[in-house]
Amino acid sequence: MNHRLAYIFAALAFFASPSVALAQLAAKSDAVMLVATPRLVDPSYRQTVVIAVPIDNNRHVGVIINRPTRRSLASLFPEHEPSKAVAEPVFFGGPMSGTAVFAVVRSDAKPGIGSIEMIEHLFLAVTVDTVDSVIEHTPNQARYFVGNVVWRPGELRRELDLKLWHAMDPDPDMVFRKDTSGLWEELSRLARSITADAGSLWPPTRF
């Protein structure tokens, strides 16, 4: 199918190093919700909310959850019949891997080998076959993203130290909120409150 050609870039973005195996995506990971602070002025990330998860070699990957586009999945893949079942818009997931489609999936079971368990019942699908399977079998149990965000080894920790992000525990209801227009403001207020309470223990040491 033609739509698979776009998805192939998702796999390339994750597995650029030959040492990275699909098995490394199997374990449950410590996902985090990142809320951009006013210090983060890059237009690609300004006032964004990102759900991110560690992968190999102290890298992290995530998607921006509060930037819906005006495109539908069907408009991206007009010849792919299952895509027409998705009514929600596709979201801008980030400036990297800009030709790739990713999916954040609600599921009781892992949706495929090319997926990362972010938290219980929430997965990030990153490979061709897995994203295809989600669209074709459970299209409305996922939210779809074009592009993503990838941090090099240790880069997210440095950005947290520079106070470019607030770090919070992820909430699936936030990820799948229908109207995300006020999400950044809401989470910014909450994150400032959490940070004030945590004091010197923030950001978390797990990064």
Q: Which domain holds residue 68?
A: 3-177
CATH code at position 65: 3.40.1740.10
Residue 53 near residue 124, CB atoms below 8 Å = yes
Phi/psi of residue 114, each to 5°?
-90, 55
Alpha-carbon gap, residue 65 to 94, rounded angstroms: 9
Residue 87 has pLDDT above 60, yes or no: yes
- 186 in a structural domain: no
pLDDT tens profile 120-144: 999 999 997 899 899 999 999 999 9
Does residue 154 belong to any structural domain of this protein?
yes
Q: How far apart are CA 51 and CA 149, in angstroms?
A: 10
Identity (one letter) of the amino acid at 116? I
Token couple for 80: 């792919």
Q: What is the total count of domains within the chain?
A: 1
**What pLDDT sits at residue 198?**
57
Domain membership of residue 69 (yes or no) is: yes
Flag whether pLDDT at 196 surpasses 90. Answer: no
- What is the percent of the chain where pLDDT is above 90? 66
- Domain-located, residue 192: no
Residue 194 lies in a domain: no
Helices (H) and strands (E) in the chain — how many of each?
6, 10
Instruction: Decide if 188 is inside a domain.
Output: no
Instruction: Return the amino acid letter for 143.
Output: R
Does residue 185 belong to any structural domain of this protein? Answer: no
Confidence of residue 206 (pLDDT cuts 50, 70, 90): low
Q: How confident is the model at residue 195 (pLDDT cuts 50, 70, 90)?
A: low
Global confidence as pTM: 0.84
94 and 64 in contact (C-beta within 8 Å)? yes
In a domain, 138, yes or no: yes
| Mean pLDDT value of segment 20-38 | 66
Residue range 26-41: average pLDDT?
A: 82
Average pLDDT estimate for 98-102 = 90
What local confidence, expressed as pLDDT, does residue 42 receive? Answer: 96
